Amino acid sequence: MSIDGCGAPEQGAPLPASVDVEKETVITGVVSAEGGPVAGAYVRLLDSSGEFTAEVVTSPAGEFRFFAAPGTWTLRALSRAGNGDATVAADRGINNVAVSVGA
């Protein structure tokens, strides 16, 4: 990806072939409410001190994805269906985490 390639990547798409899951720590999952997956939710990745690291908008299927580093992270979702948090202890490779939101 070039310097200009900073556009937020499509969240539901398969991982680009250039991403080496042996090296990357991918944190991915779905935001859901009582009615099912929540599209257009704002998901932020907070580090172990609670500091903001990144934010993405979920795909139509409610999916999000971050490229982080091994360690403990918090996911914080804001949406019209409500807000919610989840924590994950991430290792290299794919780390799946579900985030539930509610009023």
3-state DSSP helix/strand/coil % of the chain, to nearest 5:
0, 50, 50
Instruction: Return the range that interacts with another protein (CB under 8 A); candidates 28-36, 62-70, 95-103.
Output: 62-70
Complete edge-to-edge strand list for the sheet that includes strand 82-90: 52-57, 42-46, 71-79, 82-90
Query: Which residues inside 28-47 make contact with another protein, applying CB under 8 A?
Result: 40, 42, 44-45, 47
- Residue 78 touching another protein (CB under 8 A): yes
The nearer residue to another protein, 32 or 43, going by C-beta atoms, is 43
- Residue 3 touching another protein (CB under 8 A): yes
